[in-house]
Amino acid sequence: MCLTRRDLMKSAFSASVLAAFRGREALAQGGQEMLWVQVMATGGWDQLLFTDPKRGLRDYGTYQPRQAGNITYVDFPEVAPFFTAHASRMLVFNGIDTFTNNHDVGVRHSMSGSMLEGFPVFPAQVAAALGADKLLPMFTAYDYNEAGGLIASNPIDWRSAQGFAELKAVERPPNVYRNGPGTVSDSSTPFLPASLRTRLEAAHVARTQRLSDAQTLPGHQKGTAQYIRAHAAARRMPELDLSPMVTLPMGVSSASRLGQSMTLGAAAIDGFSKGLVTSLLVGLGAFDTHGETDADHRAQLDLVFKLADFLLVRAEAANVPMGVVMVSDFGRTVPREGATGTGHWPIASTLVVQNARAASQNRLPVNRVVGGTTGEAASNNPDPGTVLRARKVNPTTLAFDDNGIKITPAHVYRLLRRAAGVDASPVLRDFPLNIEGADLVVT
């Protein structure tokens, strides 16, 4: 069989188009079957007010620590609905040692598993390993979105969303027509015939590939490869809908940060369904409650739990398996800072919550608490100097063990990498998660 130059160009063009649809095909054939979401509670949330309660150290008033299965929570109205709805599909890590009370370091550590600058956050790790060729590998709706150079990080907010219509128009076929007999233009007569447009596109692909093949430096090779992926993926930009039909919970304004985050989260779920998105990064702030009361902090917990609940329920309705990793910089101090506030405390909690479709895949155990802190939840007069310190655990049995290990964010994310199926991905070779001791065995 003899192939002409034109045949080769057409084959190259077809390959580029095929690359743009690889995400959708992988989803349909059972490749990636879960949308991983990271919800960041910026500022350092107070786990004593939800999943690691200690009596006598916070103002619980008439509210009580309760159990939903094996999960302990405080039945504040801002907290209880989320836990009663999702505790059966929840994995809680208490007593995580972040080793810091610095916001910058805490954000990096809690979101990536490493304190190093330039280390990609968890959604970027997943996106780079499972869907770097998609239109938006990591759908980013949060300020800190370090991707470590693995993928392009393109933050989206309500301002940028307004300009997406123009960007989407760029990838549509040109709306230019030749003049017909006696008319200004004839929409049935394109300026360039479809066959010629195909040849031009194939020529562009072939030229780009020649430029890529000519590169000898690793950095240049990586850059041209990213360009080729982006160019192929961009053809699907008209399919991206950043303003999906969304019914927000009662009392949530579409103009609020919470409302905007919910709308963009819904867009990411829709994008995942179409094979345009691999992971989602979103978050809410104002948890740095120096000098503020427990009630102020609870109001912020209400917002972040409403956001996570909205995403889980929306994904379930859209037949999208979802796992939500909820983290914060660190925790809050046991003793009061001033009359009513709290300071920074390196011991933190992380929640991993799945919707029913994700839980049915058995990637992670559910209704489990791993780790813990000193001080009894039922004690009315604990000694603040001995409470909320990380307890060591046996990494295999997970029982408390003074000769065991302290759980760190790296332990958690090594577990999550395994659950996501990216722990052996070569693209993460330069971003190892280092731990002391053995991996956690959570079954």
Bridge partners (DSSP) listed for residue 38: 281, 325
309 located within any domain: yes
Q: Return the percent helix, strand and coil in the chain, to nearest 5.
A: 40, 15, 45
Q: Residue range 78-86: average pLDDT?
A: 98
Judge whether 435 lies within some domain.
no
**Domain that residue 423 falls in:** 32-171+235-376+387-428
At 166, the pLDDT band (50, 70, 90 cuts) reads low
Domain assignment present for residue 197? The answer is: no
Residue 175 has pLDDT above 70, yes or no: no
Mean pLDDT, to the nearest integer, of 350-378?
95
Average pLDDT, the chain: 86
Structure-model confidence comparison of residues 206 and 346, the more confident one? 346
pLDDT single digits (tens) 342-357: 999 999 999 999 999 9
Q: What is the predicted pLDDT for the residue at 3?
A: 43
215 within a domain of the structure (yes/no):
no
Domains of the chain: total = 1
Least confident window among 43-47, 87-91, 184-188, 429-433: 184-188
Residue 165: give its domain's CATH number. Answer: 3.40.720
CB 211 within 8 A of CB 26: no
pLDDT of residue 2: 45
Predicted confidence band at 167 (pLDDT cuts at 50, 70, 90)? low
Residue 195 covered by a domain: no
| pLDDT score, position 278 | 96
Q: Determine the average pLDDT of the residues in 255-272.
A: 95
Residue 102 reports pLDDT greater than 90: yes
Whether 20 has a pLDDT exceeding 50, the answer reads no
Percentage with pLDDT > 70 across the chain:
85
The residue-averaged pLDDT of 367-388 equals: 86
Q: What is the pTM of this model?
A: 0.85
In a domain, 8, yes or no: no
18 falls within a domain: no
- Residue 165 located in a structural domain: yes
Beta strands in 26-179 (DSSP E): 35-41, 65-68, 71-74, 90-97, 136-141
Token pair of 402, please? 């003074």
